[in-house]
Amino acid sequence: MKLLECKDVVKIYGKGTNQVTALDGINLAVERGEFAAIIGASGSGKSTLLHILGSVDSPTSGNVVIDGVDLNQLNAAGAAIFRRRKVGLIYQFYNLIPTLTVRKNILMPMLLDKRKPEEEYFKQIMASLGIEDKLDALPHQLSGGQQQRVAIARALIYRPALLLADEPTGNLDRKNSREIVDLLKLSNRNLKQTILLITHDEKVALEADRIITLEDGRIIADDRR
């Protein structure tokens, strides 16, 4: 069952002689519960694709449908609510809100919807990520690995349809990288979470069920393992 479908997605930046085509006719479908990795060289368009899928950017042309929602139809507020409920975004530099505690950072998407989390689910995530004892700390009081765990917890808290991770291990050492990838695999396996992971690290990509390779804005390989 398809969770995500991109049809002829094109993204062009700039105008005239400064025009750059970041994505050039991307057609992609991802099944529910799939763990896919997108790899490619720097400038291949992988981050652009992730931002379009995360509705923080919009394609120049083409359609993206996620969990039955056509992203082109969303206005700014609709896109924000979509991000909040349907997509979990994980960045290389965590993007935690420095003025809020770990607990509030994690609960933020739910609090914005004035909803309370399920206590059981919250505890389950905290336990699996190993950050139960850090809930009252501020982000800058945590290590990089811990901050990335918090970012993953925040991305998972709303049980999003799709988890988008942009180089989540790019800023971590080998040990922490390993642990983060294991956590993503665990959430994919235990929570049936659909994950799209962007990385330039082939070792990390090899952990995924499917590897999609981008080059100059086009998909040049799509290997299921």
Partner 1 sequence: MWKEYSLSYIKRNKASSFSIMVTGLIATLFFSMICCVFYNLWRYDIEHIIRDEGDWQGRIVNETGSADTEELQQGIQNHGNVERVNIWEDQDDRTVIDIYFEDVRQAFRDMPRIAEQAGLADAEVSCHDYLLSQYLIFNPEDEQPPMLLGFFILVMALAAGSLILIIRNAFAVSMNSRIHQMGILSSIGATPRQIRTCLLQEASALCIIPILAGSVGGIGLSLGLIRIMEWAVRDMSARAPVRFQYHPAVFLITILASGMTVFLSAWFPARRMGRLTPLQAVRNESEYQLKKRKESRILAALFGMEGELAGNALKARKRALWTSFTSLTLSFLAFSMFLCFITLSEISVNYTYYEKYKDSWDVMVKIEGAGNEDSSDIMESEPEEMLELKEVPKPEEMPETGEILDIENEAKSKGAGEIEEVRKIEGVESCVAYRKVTAFTRIEKEAFSEELQALGGMGAVCESAVQTGEDAWEVEVPLIILDDKGFAEYCRQIGVMPQLDGSIMLNRIWDSVNSNFRYREYIPFVKESMQELLLADEAKDKDEDDARGTVDDGRSDSVGYGVDDEKTSRLKIFAHTETPPVLREEYDDYALVQVIPVSLWRQISNRIKSERTGGEIYLRILASDDSKVNAIETAVNEIFSGGYSIETENRVQEEITNSNMMDAYRLIVGGLCALLAVIGIANLFSNTLGFLYQRKREFARYLSIGVTPGGIRKILWIEAIVIAGKPILVTMPLTILFVAFAVRASYLDPWEFIVAAPIMPMLAYVGFVFLFVGTAYYIGGRGLLNSDLGEILRDDVMA
Among 17, 19, 114, 119, binds partner 1 (CB under 8 A): 114
Q: How far is the CB of 95 from partner 1 (least distance, A)?
A: 5
Among positions 180-219, residues that touch partner 1 (CB under 8 A) are none
User: Residue 145 and residue 7: Cα distance in Å, rounded?
Assistant: 36
Stretch near partner 1 under the rule CB under 8 A, chosen from 73-81, 176-184, 193-201, 215-223:
73-81
- C-alpha pair distances (Å), 178 with each of 10, 145, 173, 207: 34, 10, 9, 10
Among 124, 137, 176, 216, binds partner 1 (CB under 8 A): 137
Q: What is the DSSP letter of 79?
A: H
111 binds partner 1 (CB under 8 A): yes
Task: Identify which of 62, 78, 76 has the alpha carbon closest to the alpha carbon of residue 12.
Answer: 62
Q: What is the DSSP letter of 78?
A: H
Task: Identify which of 28, 4, 1 has the alpha carbon closest to the alpha carbon of residue 217.
Answer: 28
122 binds partner 1 (CB under 8 A): no
- Point out which residues bind partner 1 (CB under 8 A): 47-48, 51, 54, 56-57, 76-77, 80-85, 89, 91-93, 95, 97-101, 104, 108-109, 111-112, 114, 136-140, 154
